[in-house]
Amino acid sequence: MMNELDATMAKLAERGKGILAADESTPTITKRFEAVGIESTEDSRRAYREMLLTTPNISDFIAGVILYEETLNQKMSNGMLFPEALKKMGILPGIKVDKGLVILPNTKDEQVTQGLDGLGERLAEYRKKGACFAKWRAVYAVSATTPSALAIRANAEGLASYAALCQANGIVPIVEPEVLIDGDHTIERCTEVTESVLHAVFHSLFKHKVKLEHMILKPSMVISGKKCPVKATAEQVGKATVMILKRTVPSAVPTVNFLSGGQSCEEATANLQAMNALSPHLPWNLSFSYARALQDYPMKIWRGDKKNVPAAQKMFYERAKLNSLASQGKYSTSMEKETSIA
């Protein structure tokens, strides 16, 4: 089992490659479809994800794909199951395993993630179906008084319990503590919160004896809130994020794959570039595990129409390529000219 975990990590931590988050729940992808005039059905969701995952040569930049349970069990138009098809393309299939968010009692409407009950049994089934890695997301709302110590501790314990169960079942865990971008907080406040969150997460991972060499950290970037009157530059985001990683993340963690968390496609790429431009000698691979920052433009181009598939796939390929370059410190904003849409 250790050899399997080693092999999965070697693939997912390959420099210049990232992870596509295609694990949107049915309600979430329905909202995104409706926003661009696509009817959300089981077949349209399958067709959309097949369009992304069959993009020619996408394995040049994508090492793994996080699937939603619906997609894990679906067949592509050629009759092949998605996990089997991905492996034939040289891409590892993963699976979202948490059961969403609930209000944490005795907090100001802060949230904790549910889904630990029966998780061991579910992981064993997911592994049989081809999943090599998994994802569990915790969220932290930022204000003057939140996240509370209770919310930080509860979510850290949930993430660590999940990660330990994954490794016991031969599955690499993606540990995703997302400090939400919603709000008017400054980058300085986000810095404080992120440091507290990551410190608690790694303390809990240590207590649960999680092998850091066999996990992926998927954090949010240290960034100002959407409504903050002073927007942090890419250079500020890169500097603050790397500073907090150095303070909190052990060098045993092979790769840190950031979520895009409400940023535009271009912002997420520029911020990743800024981190990798700081130093060529960081202890971790710094890469991406984006959903909307990779999919937004392709979805708007596709619009559920088969004739738009080539153009949508071309855009998806280009966005993945730009983020691959950013993960190596080789991206420039001048490269964006041909990869945006009106």
What is the CATH classification number for the domain harbouring 150?
Answer: 3.20.20.70
Exposure of 293 by Cβ count < 10 A (0-12 exposed, 13-18 middle, 19+ buried)?
buried
* Residue closest to 54 by CA, chosen among 223, 175, 62: 62
Q: Is the pLDDT of residue 340 over 70?
A: no
pLDDT, mean over the chain: 96
Look at the chain and count its residues: 342
Q: Is the pLDDT of residue 122 over 90?
A: yes
Average pLDDT for 82-102: 97
Provide the percentage of residues in the chain whose pLDDT is more than 70.
Answer: 99
- Other beta carbons within 10 angstroms of residue 144's beta carbon come to 7
Which is the catalytic residue, given 218, 300, 318, 321? 218
At 176 the three-state DSSP class reads strand
300 is catalytic: no
CB 287 within 8 A of CB 320: no
CB 239 within 8 A of CB 222: no
Which is the catalytic residue, given 50, 110, 157, 176? 176
Distance CA 54, CA 173 (A): 25
Q: Is the pLDDT of residue 280 over 90?
A: no
Distance CA 69, CA 130 (A): 12
- Tell how far CA 278 is from the center of its chain: 22
DSSP 306-341: GGGHHHHHHHHHHHHHHHHHHTTT---GGGGGGS--
pLDDT of amino acid 341: 55
Per DSSP, helices labelled H in the chain are 2-12, 26-35, 42-53, 69-72, 82-88, 119-128, 149-168, 187-207, 234-248, 265-278, 292-302, 309-326
At 149 the three-state DSSP class reads helix
In angstroms, what CA-CA distances link 4 with 137, 169, 217, 246?
23, 10, 19, 29
Helix 26-35 and helix 42-53, axial crossing angle in degrees, nearest 10: 80
Cα-Cα end-to-end distance for the chain: 48
Distance CA 106, CA 92 (A): 40
> What six digits make up the tokens of 263?
């940023």
pLDDT confidence of 337, banded at 50, 70, 90?
confident
Main-chain dihedrals φ then ψ at residue 80, nearest 5 degrees? -90, 135
Domain count, the chain: 1
pLDDT of amino acid 2: 82
pLDDT confidence of 342, banded at 50, 70, 90?
very low
218 is catalytic: yes
CB 274 within 8 A of CB 237: yes
Q: Is the pLDDT of residue 281 over 90?
A: no
Q: What is the pLDDT of residues 42-78, one digit of tens each?
A: 999 999 999 999 999 999 999 999 999 999 999 999 9
Q: Which domain holds residue 318?
A: 2-338
Global pTM reads: 0.97
Q: Is the pLDDT of residue 339 over 60?
A: no
